[in-house]
Amino acid sequence: MDSTNLSSLPEESLEQEQEQQDFQKKPSPSAFASVPHRPPSQSSLQKYSPLDWSCYFDKEQDVSIPDSNDVFHVYMAGTEGPVVFCLHGGGYSGLSFALSASNIKEKARVVAMDMRGHGKSSTENDLDLSIETMCNDVFAVVKAMYGDSPPAIVLVGHSMGGSVAVHVAAKKTLHSLAGLVVVDVVEGTALASLIHMQKILSSRMQHFSSIEKAIEWNVKGGSLRNVDSARISIPSTLKFDESKNCYVYRSRLEETDQYWKGWYEGLSEKFLSSPVPKLLLLAGTDRLDRSLTIGQMQGKFQMVVVRHTGHAIQEDVPDEFSTLILNFISRNRISPHGVEIPGLRRPLQLHS
């Protein structure tokens, strides 16, 4: 049957006529009519505004070293478990472990120290970044915080801090040391990169009109990939220079180049000689030298290559980093008193 011969009901005719009139009143639809409404974008001031450390750490403390004018600033989190003692890289601060600490503190204690010449720490010579001096700083802070009976400590060091952690462990005088985690530093590649360090330091932005601009530059420049971590950690790496009326870097790394080689020479052998469980975290497939390659094949340490991250693994992927740390502690049965040995009623306290 031909539908054109069917007469419409009166109600339908009225509705169709009304719809046609309404359609004629409406303007022609735009080609962009189907694009959903987008809220206004966040301003740079909001996106890169500083975040407070207290949302991640539980407290901060100034640790005064007896018989000196040295005062080291530490951030702490957690109340139970072994102490994950964090040492940051050159130019960073203890707050580079903030996002990771908020996860680790659920099962362990966290102490993140501002190294000499960095963050809120103040020493008689902020430019003495020799490996021996920085090792002594760690020993002094542990002694001042815990006395002669420190709890089990897992040393975690990133970059320069990784070198310090290895040297501290290799001295075998921190008797409560129960584990060693080195983050993205290998002797061979570190030494090879030193010839470029002055150029890298001099080519980075030196002055910032605001803290927000400094955070934005570090994120957009690629040195940090996690915006939230940058918002916490970057402010502590800056200071306001009244003579220049702008923010500049707190640490003067370019004036410490005489010590750089000493950070990394012999690092592989010292790492392997440390008498505790060891974990090496790398941000890329760094070429291991011969001794590390043999050591890994012999099972002397655990190695994990963390994908999709930059140099600061603990900042860029804090959830994955904290999981790796907690798994390391669990795998090696590290308790507040040391390494648990199956069959013993009390965990074994590590001694050299």
Residue 23's pLDDT is what?
Answer: 43
Reply yes or no on whether 158 is catalytic: no
CA-based nearest residue to 336, from 81, 79, 115 = 81
Mean pLDDT of 304-331: 96
Residue 12's pLDDT is what?
Answer: 38
Reply yes or no on whether 126 is catalytic: no
Query: 73, 118, 167, 311: which is the annotated catalytic residue?
Result: 311
Residue pLDDT, tens place only, 134-176: 999 999 999 999 999 999 999 999 999 999 999 999 999 999 9
> Is pTM beyond 0.75 here?
yes
Mean pLDDT of 308-330: 96
For the cut 50, the answer to whether the pLDDT of residue 344 exceeds it is no
Query: 114, 137, 184, 316: which is the annotated catalytic residue?
Result: 184
When mean pLDDT is compared across 27-31, 178-182, 326-330, the lowest value belongs to 27-31
Residue pLDDT, tens place only, 252-306: 999 999 999 999 999 999 999 999 999 999 998 767 888 899 999 999 999 999 9
CA-based nearest residue to 161, from 117, 124, 202 = 117
Q: Which residue has the tokens 């419409």?
A: 8
Alpha helices in the chain (DSSP H): 10-25, 44-47, 98-104, 131-146, 160-171, 187-203, 211-220, 227-233, 260-264, 267-273, 290-297, 313-316, 318-331
- Asked if 271 and 279 count as a contact pair (C-beta separation under 8 A), the reply is no
Reply yes or no on whether 70 is catalytic: no
Q: Which residue has the tokens 């951030």?
A: 75
Query: 159, 176, 223, 229: which is the annotated catalytic residue?
Result: 159
